Structure 1
Amino acid sequence: MATAQELYDDLIMEHLARPEVSLGRMFHAEGLKVNGKVYAFFSKTKGGVVLKLPAARAGELVREGTAEVMVMGARRMREWVALRVPDEDVWRRLLTEAAAYVGSLRR
């Protein structure tokens, strides 16, 4: 079974094969960007991948136990969630959701 970091590293290679995806920095980590906006990064502190999703979807994932709320300082990030348990199918699906969501946002 792959570690969280190994799984993330494998999955980002799939995303980087897309022309609109690039690497960029966010919160002292290298993350995936679509059209210049970060949608995912690996957090060593959280021990997993952190994703940007619509607030309602993020809340749903937290309620079902798939993700946990991302807190930066004292601020709860309503569109950012952390996935800690490495699950290739779940992570692949949610990375794709995050890329589609962030890619749809206006600049």
Structure 2
Amino acid sequence: MTVPIEARRLLLEDLIEHCRIDDVDIATMFGSPAIRFRGRIACFLSHDAQLIVKLTRQDTLDLIAEGRAEPVVMGARTLKEWVTVPRLDDDRAAIELWAPHVVTALGYARANVS
């Protein structure tokens, strides 16, 4: 089910506030709202409002092995550093689930800014 872009944007704004994140903005990736730090996308919400987040390869393998995330496939290619973390029916619960992954992704983005 496609979630309207404005609803996804508001959900990201709530996520940013919940995580007490500063120095980020909301951009667009693949037509979806995304959290960006100095030009680097850390995560975005898919059209069905699942969190797609960029982590390290090991983090992605661990989350997939634990059954807490799914690999991201674009065409025939599985992306190595991106995973999909499912959305829960309740927005607050989804934000709680996503928050640690977003904070981790932003930590990596900050560390890799030149």
Unaligned runs of 5+ in 2: 1-7, 89-93
User: RMSD in angstroms over aligned alpha carbons?
Assistant: 2.5
Distance 1:106 1:88 in 2: 26
Q: Secondary structure at the match of 1:66?
A: coil
Q: What does 1:1-107 correspond to in 2, within 5 Å?
A: 5=8, 8-14=12-18, 18=22, 20-45=23-48, 47-86=49-88, 87-107=94-114
Percent identical among aligned pairs is 28
C-alpha spacing 1:9/1:84, structure 2 compared with 1 (3 Å): farther
TM-score, with length taken from structure 1: 0.80
Of residues 78-87 and 54-63 in structure 1, the stretch that sits farther from structure 2 once superposed is 78-87
CA contact under 8 A between 2:51 and 2:87: conserved in structure 1? Answer: no
C-alpha spacing 1:88/1:16, structure 2 compared with 1 (3 Å): closer
TM-score, with length taken from structure 2: 0.76
Higher strand share: 1
